[in-house]
Amino acid sequence: MIWDTHAHLDDSQFNADREKVIERARQGEVTTIINIGASESTSRQSVNLAQKYPFIYATVGVHPHYAKDCSDETWARLSRLAQNPKVVAWGEIGLDYYRDLSPRDVQRKVFIRQLELADEMGLPVVIHDRDAHGDILEIIKKHTPQAGGVFHSYSGSWEMAKELLSLGFYLSFSGPLTFKNNRKTAEVAANVPEDRFVVETDCPYLTPEPYRGKRNEPLYAWQVLNKIAELKGLSPEETASLAVENSKRLFGITK
């Protein structure tokens, strides 16, 4: 069995067949899915999904794209939502200097505020980092989350990864790991300690080979896991067992 630790099943791309996608995942031994909040509305949708399906959990948070839309009222509402017992993390939060859909100073301010809120709620964080490695490192060294966290769809170097591991973070791998020319991420996956990696899809985005170009879904987490197994010289079964135990520890899920 395997977990998909980062999915966006609330996305409109699943509106026509969401239940079938979830059922395919279950039939394919994806036993647990964590649906990620990226805004106030998607956080609410994630919690609704988690309440509907026993094997789905939720996170709440605001993605850096939407940082410019946040207010004190946003934080109050999300903090109330985070009290739901199916909420297992605060995220996804962080910095995105690739699209720059919110001003960078606003992104940094909102990121720090959400790190503080995660600490107040006793939750680990799910961090989004795109083309912002330096600022991310500077912030998390000053505001290291008390309950830990994960860098989702990790895209940095092995040198940066070692710094994150020393701070207690987990690293999550997704579809791009399977791309032929992605040597940097492959190096990280090969070297990450066996107790510090998890698997995700980020569906409907970042579809792995051999499905690249199509909509991603939780079932395809197996392609990512198989690539990690290959890189680490482990069997898929052993790799899956490690990934599940790491996911349980990261998110505090005991089932």
Domains in the chain: boundaries: 2-251
Q: Report the distance separating Cα 113 and Cα 101, nearest Å.
A: 18
What is the CATH class of 2-251? alpha beta
Q: Report the distance separating Cα 237 and Cα 243, nearest Å.
A: 10
pTM to 2 decimal places: 0.97
Q: Report the distance separating Cα 6 and Cα 36, nearest Å.
A: 6
Other beta carbons within 10 Å of 252: 13
The amino acid that residue 44 corresponds to is: R
Cα–Cα separations (whole angstroms), residue 235 to 60, 124, 225, 240: 34, 29, 10, 9
Residue-level pLDDT, tens digit, the chain, 255 residues: 999 999 999 999 999 999 999 999 999 999 999 999 999 999 999 999 999 999 999 999 999 999 999 999 999 999 999 999 999 999 999 999 999 999 999 999 999 999 999 999 999 999 999 999 999 999 999 999 999 999 999 999 999 999 999 999 999 999 999 999 999 999 999 999 999 999 999 999 999 999 999 999 999 999 999 999 999 999 999 999 999 999 999 999 987
Q: Report the distance separating Cα 105 and Cα 68, nearest Å.
A: 10
CA dihedral 87, 34, 148, 245 (to 10 degrees): 120
Q: Report the distance separating Cα 34 and Cα 184, nearest Å.
A: 26
90 touches 118 (CB < 8 A)? yes
